[in-house]
Each structure stands twice: as structure tokens, then as C-alpha cells.
Amino acid sequence: MSSRTEITVTVLNKNGLHARPSSVLAEAALRYPDTLITVCRKGTAVDAKSIMELLMLEAACGTELTVVADGPRAQEALDELEALFEKEFNLKL
Amino acid sequence: MPLSPYCKPKAVLPDLQVSDKDDAIRQLVGALVTARVLKKPVAAAVLDEILAREGQATTGIGHGVGIPHARSEHVEKIVMAFGRVDEGVDFGAVDGERVRVIVMLISPKAKNDEHLAAMKAIVKIVRDPYQCKRLHGCRTPESFMDLIGELDGTPAK
């Protein structure tokens, strides 16, 4: 059973998707080894499992991103990642 | 974003002898003072900020590169330092590799977009296997400055 699904999220962190939130996001995505997860900004699509790739998005606060998941646990992965964006990656002081 | 305006030869230490990660970061902050891009009275505070950030999660992003960094109220523009440790130093990196190249970045707290842009410019070099290898091969401040100068303005692959 494979399914491809996507969501749109907004970066809410004041400092944008910098190294710390990127690492939290990548760690979460890595918990879905059998699911391909991609984060897209305009024409750029990067692997959600790589901090380096996520940093290439240069996503500041307010940036809209599309997260695409393809795999057996696609929906579950997107639910988890969406919650992370909403909770500002649990980094809010 | 071009990085060369923020790199100074005196803040490039291509032959660091270090006892551990904190020691490496301390020496690079010292180099920023020597290069006159960081004022001596704030050096200790900036060092604390970088070490505090490092304490939250490793900046060892892989491929033998560490990018210790901080957003600080003590700088008015971005300052960068570069260090190379021949035998490598343990950064607890994401891929478990020892860090041999350290690119340190301190950004003004108020200029978050610049911080993200500088980070992207650094990562752009590191993620490209060929350029990353060249970065690892910079054994003099001049070769580092030349490489950064050459890569400034190269479009992202």
C-alpha cells in the first residue's frame, strides 16, 4: 500500500527554518525510512531527511512550503511534520 | 549571497591544534579578535553564545564539516572564521564523522534573513562533493579566500 499525499505549511518560527528547526524536522522525517518526504519551496524540492537540504530552502518566517510524502506511512508522517511546524518545532522559549 | 566580504585571512586557521570542539571554537573566536572583526570585550560573551547553541544540538552537519554559529547582539554585521583540523575533532556530527573543517558564523540578531542566506551559502559548498573536497584541501588562508571568492555567485545546483 503506497500513497502520495501533500500538505501546505507555513514557517511560524520568528527566525525561520534555521539549523535547529531543520534538525528537528529531519530527525522526525528519519523516523519514516520507508516513506519519501520532500519539502518544496517554489521550484526547489529537497529531502526532508537532510538538515543540509532543508537549509538550502532559506525559508524565513512566513514562508509557505509544500510537504509531499510518498510511502506506506505518508499520512502519518505528514500529520507529525505538520504538528511540528504548528508548534514551531517545540523550540519556542 | 557572497561570503568573501565576511571572510578575513587572519580569521582563517588552516592548521588548528585542538584538544576538543570547545577548544577549536575558542581559538576561532580568538582569531576573530586578532582579525579585528570582533571586539575583544565582547569575545567572551560571543564564545558563550556559540557554546550554548552547540549545547542544544550538534552543528556537525556531515561530510567532516562543522558550522558552529550564533545570533548575537554583539556584532553589527556577519563575521566568519574558518578552521581546519588535520586529525579531526569530535563534534558528535549527524553522520558520526570527525570534523576536519570548521566554518564559524556569527550573525547580528536583528538580521535573520542574512543569517539564513549565509547558512545557505555555506551549505551550498558542503553539499557539493567536489567543492567540499576543495574546502577540505585549503591549507593556507590564501587558498581558502581564493576558493570562497571563486564560489561566490555560483548558482546553487
Which of A14, A17, A52 is closest, CB to CB, to B123? A52
Q: What pLDDT is stored for residue A91 in this prediction?
A: 86
pLDDT of amino acid B155: 58
Alpha carbons B111 and A55: distance in angstroms, whole number:
17
What's the complex ipTM? Answer: 0.88
C-alpha cell at B66: 562543522
CATH code for the part of the protein at B4-151 = 3.40.930.10
Report the mean per-residue pLDDT for chain B.
Answer: 95
C-alpha triplet B111, B114, B116: angle, nearest 5°: 110
Mean pLDDT of A68-74: 96
- Tell me the three state secondary structure of residue A78: helix
Length of chain A: 93
On chain B, the residues whose CB falls within 8 A of the CB of A51 are: 61-62, 94
The cell numbers describing B117, all together, are 542566506
Query: pLDDT exceeding 90 applies to what percent of chain A?
Result: 91
| pTM check: above 0.95 | no
pLDDT digits (tens, 9 = 90+) for B43-74: 999 999 999 999 998 999 999 999 999 999 99
B94–A23 C-beta distance less than 8 A: yes
Which residue would you say has higher pLDDT here, A1 or A7? A7
Q: How far is A1 from chain B (nearest CA, A)?
A: 31
Catalytic positions of A, written as ranges: 18
Mean pLDDT of B21-47: 97
pLDDT tens for each residue of A3-46: 899 999 999 999 999 999 999 999 999 999 999 999 999 989 99
Residue A38, min C-alpha distance to chain B (Å): 17
Rounded-to-integer distance, Cα A25 and Cα A88, Å: 10
Interchain CB contacts (distance < 8 Å): A and B: 50
As beta bridge partners, residue A3 has A71
